[in-house]
Structure 1
Amino acid sequence: MIDAVTSMFAMDLDWKRTQPDSVVFGSQKDLALPPGLAFVVVSPEFMKKSESMENKGFYTDFVKLKEKNDENYALTTPPVSIMFGLDYQLDKMLKEGMAARYRRHREMGDLLRAWAKEKLEGIFPEEGYQSDSLAVIKKGDLDFDAFHKVIKSRGYEISNGYGDIKKQTFRVGTMGDLTPADIRSLIGVMDEALEEVKQ
């Protein structure tokens, strides 16, 4: 089962090679929508396994979900407004083309990787495991709160680290509708912020 929550629609996950049993993602990342829709894709083999499993829970009972889906019936109240947004975003993706979309995200990821290597201590995951939709930047001795305060004052938002590496990193998302021009503009602001917090 692959958690593709930040990579789906931003990176070519090469399904023909990986052949996953299941892929899970949501509406709030690269679809550039509010949270509220969860997507699960399952293989026929996964579905067959689900048929014989007990205590599957409510949201992970894929047999029941498929039965209701085949009846065009929702098990819970659907977030209709987000579904209209999804239709809009999927049309945009088709117009852009997936290869172009993947290139756009790769360019944004490359911009942040180069900046992090030049200005700080690089990207947290080792090469080959880095995301094109989320840069986890090793901050070294940078005072993130002071740095972030400057960035927010210029109208941008990034996030501190998360989990076990919260104190060593901060995060910059390059998801959804963002463009390389947006990231270049952010990098300019981050350069200014670095200068200000050094003073």
Structure 2
Amino acid sequence: MREMLQAATRINLDKVSVLIVDDSAPSLDLLAQVVSGFGVKTLQRADSAREAQLHLRDKAFDLIISATNMAGVDGYELVKWLRRGALEANRYAPVILVSGHTPPSQVFKARDAGANFTVAKPITPKVLLERILWAAKEERQFIECDSYLGPDRRFKNEGPPIGVEGRRRDDLRGDLSDLAGDNMSQEQINGLMRPSKVKL
């Protein structure tokens, strides 16, 4: 993974408004300290998803950072509610979920709920700042359909393969083995499946 932050990089987040959500008081305090350390001056804390929903109805935020596992409404449900709700001011705001339990199924659950990123606990300021900056700079389109509303889950959109007009009406005819080409190496597969970072 390439380094995203350089030691000389200057970032100004003093005009960014952030909502942080966690039902664990120590975790909420730690998250508040880290985010404040980035220079964020407008920081709203919520100790439950229900409280966060009240804040989201009243005020527009530039970023939402929420824990996943909370009593009552969890972070996944909060993101789904936000994405599918009528709160135009916050519906498209970047959402970062933080979780102490990050098997692939939970990361996919966060992605499918509409979160931009998942950060594993214990959080480190460097990783959290990288994800905040990545969310701010990313150019993924927002997808709206019956089953999903959130940032495009594909990190690469390179269009159809070279020489192919499209895949639906103009499917290629022929034997599948002839059309498929050579097998890819695991390294090539990993390159397709892993998000690529942009250098700021």
Q: Mark yes or no: TM-score above 0.5.
A: no
Task: Report which structure shows greater RCO (CA 8 Å, sep ≥6).
Answer: 1
TM-score normalised over the length of structure 2: 0.25
